[in-house]
A and B are shown apart, each in its own frame.
Chain A
Amino acid sequence: MQTIISPLLVSHRLSLAPPVPRLLNNYHHRARPSIRLSSHRSTNSLRLFSSAIVAAAASRDSEMATEDVQDPRIAKIASSIRVIPDFPKPGIMFQDITTLLLDTEAFKDTIALFVERYKDKDISVVAGVEARGFIFGPPIALAIGAKFVPMRKPKKLPGKVISEEYSLEYGTDKIEMHVGAVEPGERAIIIDDLIATGGTLAAAIRLLERVGVKIVECACVIELPELKGKDKLGETPLFVLVSSA
């Protein structure tokens, strides 16, 4: 069933972009610049907190909804992410985490924030989505003593695999996992650098659920909330550090 998140934990759950101008990230339409104003913060924080809070079964403590505490590490992490316009195609503002990886403190803090959240949750599986999920997943897995399970594009994994198809803007793609990597009843988190439309993460969830694994949460560094990827995750909660809207 759903993990109940305590209010203490929610106070760490920071999902606000820093109050500096950030370009609107909009994958499918023409990008337009947008400034995040501090007057919008509390509304956004309500929306983002509620998106990160466990849906359905969790009792929503009213204190949690109004809390607006930002972990001091988040601002540095957010500012270390580089936005590249028109990549991979015109109109897309690409969120580049490679600059975060060049900032040793920001990278360390990113991992620490996830580790602090998951270390006492009996997670035995950290699944990472190729390829940038391979950068964030293993350090988390190592720190919490979990297995790392790579979820890969087709034909990369040797031996027996199971696969799950998902939709792209045009056409479909597949994500694969090794047969026998995980066991029924294991508790997992799924990691990727970013959630956009949620298609890949939703496929990863389906893949793990098919073999009887409980997905405790999906965790990403960045969310593009306008693309409503969270809605594709069904009952699985989403935790993000930075929201780019």
Chain B
Amino acid sequence: MSGNKEEEDPRINGIKTKIRVVPDFPKKGIMFQDITTVLLDPKAFKDTIDLFVERYRDKNISVVAGIEARGFIFGPPIALAIGAKFVPLRKPKKLPGETIFEEYELEYGNDRLEMHIGAVEAGDRALVVDDLIATGGTLCAAINLLERVGEEVVECACVIELPELKGRQRLKGKPLCMLVEYR
């Protein structure tokens, strides 16, 4: 199954119209996709979650990994609805106890994503969730972390894709499911 937009579902348009585009944030030239306005509309937020839950509930997913911080907003409701564990993937030094990390590139410099050791068991089927995929660097780091501990990453799920940044190609062959494209 290659990643697909949820086609024709009438709920998609409702979600899309709720996303607010903020120009020049965090810096000039970037059109920031703000999902907080989706969260202010209970129906649009619920529809967003429902669309993912409907897709994943019969896929034997045992782990939903959410990327800090906006992945923490969408991941847990999906995890709860499909009966999966929720695993937060965090910026450095936030998780207590033993962690592993994966480095990834930013426009300037590097950053790291961390996960708890022992959070997941080898052989779990995992979903990675974030609000948006841009270059795919963070999602790629997330996939690497999960695979290093023996997880099977089934798919990446994002509300929004910026297809021109070709992040989809950075996912180590994993499919991407997104709801809304922004060109």
Contacts and interface: CB of A to CB of B under 8 A. Distances in A.
Interface of A: 82, 84, 87-88, 94, 96, 98, 101-104, 107-108, 111, 130-132, 134-136, 138-139, 141-142, 145-150, 152, 155-159, 178, 181
B1 interface: no
Interface of B: 20, 22, 25-26, 32, 34, 36, 39-42, 45-46, 49, 68-70, 72-74, 76-77, 79-80, 83-88, 90, 93-97, 116, 119
B119 A98 contact: yes
B22 A158 contact: yes
A110 to B, nearest CB: 10
A84 B87 contact: no
Given A84-B97, A142-B46, 8 more contacts: A87-B96, A104-B85, A131-B68, A150-B73, A156-B69, A158-B26, A159-B20, A159-B25
A174 to B, nearest CB: 16
Given A138-B73, A150-B73, A181 B42 contact: no
B39 A138 contact: yes
B73 A134 contact: yes
A101 B120 CA distance: 11
Nearest to B32: A158
A156 B95 CA distance: 20
Contact of B80 (A87, A88, A111): A111
A125 B22 CA distance: 23
The 3 A-B residue pairs with the shortest CB-CB distance in the complex, in nearest-first order: A158-B22, A158-B25, A87-B96
B36 A178 contact: yes
A139 B42 contact: no
B45 A108 contact: no
16 contacts: A84-B96, A87-B96, A98-B88, A107-B79, A108-B80, A131-B68, A131-B72, A135-B86, A138-B76, A142-B42, A147-B39, A147-B41, A147-B42, A150-B36, A178-B36, A181-B36
A121 B127 CA distance: 34
A135 B72 contact: yes
Nearest to A128: B73
B40 A181 contact: yes
